[in-house]
Amino acid sequence: MLQSPKTVAESRTEMTELALPGDANPLGNILGGRVMHWIDLAAAMAAARHAGQVAVTASMDRVNFLNPIKVGQVVHLVAELTWVGRTSMEVRVEVSSEDLLSGRVQPTSTAFLSFVAVAGDGQPVLVPRLRLISPKEEERFRAAERRQQERLRDRNKPDDPPS
């Protein structure tokens, strides 16, 4: 039975990490792959909260690295649903860094991820609709619908031949 619609706020996920030396390159910047891992975790929690089911990553696109994260900084991630289909969801994740000594906070990354809710047997299951409350949420939903259409078009394109 399908659950009643849920708001963006009901599944919003905030995650905090400490940037450690083992996460960094020789310049002391946190590796992009580590940031992507944290993004995936935060987004998966938001998707699972919304679905009330396990949610598996279907795609990660539009990962933008805006500023580096340095060793010793605190990393804040905020994940919010932007769109919901029948079994799939899009999650936007915003990442920022905080310098504990100066208190300076700056944006570092943004990303959009798609998830599919699955049952214990791995089959997709229906997810609750998304109840939009603000004009900002409605605008993000419309933009996410366009991205979803692009993903569907790209999925049906043949891969580029090897060069």
For residue 140, give the H/E element and its range. helix 135-155
Note the pLDDT of residue 154.
81
Q: What CATH fold (topology level) applies to the domain 6-155?
A: Thiol Ester Dehydrase; Chain A (3.10.129)
- Residue 110 CA to residue 112 CA, distance in Å, equals 7
- Domain boundaries defined on the chain: 6-155
Ranges of the chain whose pLDDT falls below 70:
1-2, 158-163
Note the pLDDT of residue 2.
59
Q: What is the pTM of this model?
A: 0.90
Note the pLDDT of residue 61.
85
Is residue 65 within 8 A of residue 32, CB to CB? The reply is: yes
